[in-house]
Structure 1
Amino acid sequence: MTLTSDPSPTVEAPSPGTVSSRPKLFAGLSGQNISLVGALVLVLVLFGVLNDNYLSLSNMQVIAEAATITGLLALVQTVVIICGGLDISVGSQAGVASVVSAMVFTSTGSNALLGMVVAVAVGLLVGVLNGLIIVYGRVNPTIATLAGLAAYKGLAQLLSNGRAQGYVLNDDVFVFLGRGKIAGLPVTVWILLVVAVTVHLLLRYTDIGRNIYAIGGNDTAARLAGININKYLVFVYALIGVVAAVAGILLTARTGSGQPTSGSEGLELKAITAAALGGAALKGGKGGIGGTLLAVALLGALENGLTVQGINSFWQNVAQGALLVVAVVIQQRRGGERAVGLPS
């Protein structure tokens, strides 16, 4: 797939300062990111006072490891939101990849690399399928991926008969991915950081990234400038499929088996919440990887704090829903949107 446009000028994103004025991942923190840092510090201090072990190094590593799968999905969710779309099926895609990686591993005589390659290929296929349905079927991204949420969840259950598949913790590769460390940090955290830096560089320093911002900001202007919007949309959803597959592989490595639904349930809500909290405008054209990572850290710290305090896990869903509403309200207010049904 060639992601090049006609040799006409590239459309810049609606807010140039957002696209190109910050050369580093967290340089020049925006007001929203400063708010996220403040909220994260508040959560850490609060639960640190309530539980002596909360701020221990071992618990910080637990928080980081638990947040990696959500973080991977939130990163690519940020990209698709910037492009003016949405993907509600990322959790189900991760579940399919998790099952496939484990089933191929066990059926080929414990070939971990083959299982991972097949899982990534399935993720790419699923992502491209989503993109084609949206582009050529002219289906709204929310509806298309909502259908994908159900379909891919059902596919994972059909492949696995609704049960966890295989056992991978007798394999060095899976054990290294799920439990290994490099320079004191879990391998899963390194994978998240590598993907985050890669996506950041793609968005900030390439024509592909600038055109993604332009499509989300004003697709009509982008089309008139010669940008092939269809190809970009298929590319973005393909990227989601690949990264969701990586998340599914890490889920398999962490849990020791392929998980059709139990490990991937609710990941789409977490990913969308983190992207919105991080500043990705749901109307498209605005967002960044730094804010998303801060939001992922905040969600992870909050979820862990509620858990160590023995608070009912259902309250975690309540907190996530409340944070999503707060993020959208802040976006609407900052964008000058009038209240629905009320005079401007």
Structure 2
Amino acid sequence: MSAVATLTRPVRVGKIPHAGLLLVLVGIIVFASVRTDSFLNTNNLLNVARQVSVVAVIAAGLTLLMVAGGMDFSMGGNVAVTTAVAAQMLSHGYATWLTLVTAIGLSIAVGLVNGAVVTFTNVAPFVATLATATLLDGVALLVINGMSISIDEHLSGLGSGTTFGLPNLVFVAAAVLAVVAFVMRYTSFGRDAFAIGGNEDVARLSGITVSRDKLVLYGLAGALSGLAGIMLLSRLAASSPGTGGLQLQLTAVAAVVIGGTSLAGGKGTIGGTILGVLLLGVVANVLNLLQISSYYQQISVGAVLLIAAIANLLQSSRKR
């Protein structure tokens, strides 16, 4: 009898993971569908999918890093440098494989430098990576000399190609998200990241190699920044001033925080991050379709990030 009652009992919305975020996303989709016929257009939905794929890859790496109590504000700057270097190499006739290896290798090196500074100097991650972000934005401008560098048809198969009707960029992002989700949930490295974010000193005393793991986490964040840069370059077919940078970084941070990842570390899920990425992508698209000034997009991202950060803090306070 009790089993039957359990099966027939209605599911409480509060018990559905990220129910509030999911309801907001559905509400915005319904609103957009009513206000404009263009939103549910196939081309528009595919365009949204391509746009959010780049943010999703950055957000995946950021989620794992923030779970461990870290932060990397230079991932957007890393994207900018990656696109600039790759665009210059492709435009000068270098082989595609060599370009990809060089660009992603450079992005990994940047991540490892960030990790070394944070791990061995005890400089706050926010300060260290924000300084790196400023430096990388300047380097990106120097590489392209402040001009737009076209790559013509190079990487077009990735940026504009489709498989089974879906953009290839979506498959890349889905693969990255799936791998990071698996690592976080089913591997000792993922469990160690949660432990480090919960209490780094206790994690070290329990035998976790905190310094090594932090270096790996920042290196992984750098690698995913490089991948996101290649994806963005393939979609835009050019590297220009303003490609990547702080705006892209803040969007990724907002998506991760909206998705429930704790700013203090020790808590986060890829499922929440995916919903956060989709929410911000849909909001940006709706603003464009309704011909609302792009300035409001920046305002909305900042406002949502602030609200999410406050909610995150209040939730942590209630648990304590």
Q: Normalising by the residue count of structure 1, what TM-score does the alignment of the two structures yield?
A: 0.86
Superposed displacement of residue 75, structure 1: 1.1
Superposed displacement of residue 289, structure 1: 0.4
Higher percent of residues as helix: 2
> Residue 275 of structure 1 corresponds to which residue in structure 2?
256
Superposed displacement of residue 57, structure 1: 2.2
Asked if the contact 1:103–1:115 (Cα under 8 Å) also holds between the matched residues in 2, the reply is no
- With 48-57 and 190-199 compared, the bigger mean Cα shift is at 48-57
Query: Which secondary structure does the structure 1 equivalent of 2:46 belong to?
Result: helix
> Residue 125 of structure 1 corresponds to which residue in structure 2?
109
Counterpart among 13, 29, 34 of residue 44 in structure 1: 29
> Residue 9 of structure 2 corresponds to which residue in structure 1?
none
Q: Does 1:226 align with 2:210?
A: no
Question: What does 1:302-321 correspond to in 2, within 5 Å?
Answer: 302-321=283-302
Closer, same or farther: CA 29–186 of 1 in aligned 2, 3 Å: farther
Query: Which secondary structure does the structure 1 equivalent of 2:317 belong to?
Result: coil
> Residue 167 of structure 2 corresponds to which residue in structure 1?
186
Superposed displacement of residue 32, structure 1: 5.8
In structure 2, what is the Cα distance between the partners aligned to 1:31 and 1:330?
Answer: 18
Q: Deviations over 1:26-46 (max 9, x none)?
A: xx9965611111111111111
Query: Which secondary structure does the structure 1 equivalent of 2:69 belong to?
Result: coil
Query: Which secondary structure does the structure 1 equivalent of 2:239 belong to?
Result: coil
- With 111-120 and 329-338 compared, the bigger mean Cα shift is at 329-338
- Flag structure 2 segments of 5+ consecutive residues without an equivalent: 1-12
Asked if the contact 1:83–1:216 (Cα under 8 Å) also holds between the matched residues in 2, the reply is yes
- With 47-56 and 178-187 compared, the bigger mean Cα shift is at 47-56
Asked if the contact 1:32–1:279 (Cα under 8 Å) also holds between the matched residues in 2, the reply is no
Counterpart among 62, 82, 85 of residue 70 in structure 2: 85
Superposed displacement of residue 186, structure 1: 0.2
Counterpart among 189, 214, 230 of residue 195 in structure 2: 214
Moved beyond 4 Å, runs of 4+: 28-32
Superposed displacement of residue 121, structure 1: 0.4
> Residue 71 of structure 1 corresponds to which residue in structure 2?
56
In structure 2, what is the Cα distance between the partners aligned to 1:29 and 1:137?
Answer: 43
Q: Does 1:235 align with 2:216?
A: yes
Q: Does 1:158 align with 2:139?
A: no
Superposed displacement of residue 104, structure 1: 1.6
In structure 2, what is the Cα distance between the partners aligned to 1:48 and 1:96?
Answer: 37
Closer, same or farther: CA 131–29 of 1 in aligned 2, 3 Å: farther
Corresponding pairs, count: 308
> Residue 170 of structure 1 corresponds to which residue in structure 2?
153
In structure 2, what is the Cα distance between the partners aligned to 1:231 and 1:242?
Answer: 16
In structure 2, what is the Cα distance between the partners aligned to 1:156 and 1:210?
Answer: 36
In structure 1, what is the Cα distance between the partners aligned to 2:220 and 2:273?
Answer: 17
Superposed displacement of residue 256, structure 1: 1.1
Superposed displacement of residue 87, structure 1: 0.8
Closer, same or farther: CA 30–140 of 1 in aligned 2, 3 Å: farther
> Residue 112 of structure 1 corresponds to which residue in structure 2?
96
Asked if the contact 2:137–2:245 (Cα under 8 Å) also holds between the matched residues in 1, the reply is no
Query: Which secondary structure does the structure 2 equivalent of 1:86 belong to?
Result: coil
> Residue 47 of structure 2 corresponds to which residue in structure 1?
62
> Residue 332 of structure 1 corresponds to which residue in structure 2?
313
Residue 334 of structure 1 aligns with an amino acid whose one-letter code is: Q
In structure 1, what is the Cα distance between the partners aligned to 2:130 and 2:16?
Answer: 32
Residue 59 of structure 1 aligns with an amino acid whose one-letter code is: N
> Residue 4 of structure 1 corresponds to which residue in structure 2?
none
Asked if the contact 2:77–2:244 (Cα under 8 Å) also holds between the matched residues in 1, the reply is no
Residue 186 of structure 1 aligns with an amino acid whose one-letter code is: P
Closer, same or farther: CA 263–132 of 1 in aligned 2, 3 Å: closer
- Flag structure 1 segments of 5+ consecutive residues without an equivalent: 1-27, 339-343
Residue 184 of structure 2 aligns with an amino acid whose one-letter code is: L
Superposed displacement of residue 95, structure 1: 0.4
In structure 2, what is the Cα distance between the partners aligned to 1:216 and 1:135?
Answer: 14
Asked if the contact 2:183–2:190 (Cα under 8 Å) also holds between the matched residues in 1, the reply is yes
Counterpart among 222, 225, 232 of residue 244 in structure 1: 225
In structure 1, what is the Cα distance between the partners aligned to 2:245 and 2:290?
Answer: 24
Residue 103 of structure 1 aligns with an amino acid whose one-letter code is: Q
Residue 116 of structure 1 aligns with an amino acid whose one-letter code is: L
> Residue 299 of structure 1 corresponds to which residue in structure 2?
280
Superposed displacement of residue 70, structure 1: 1.1
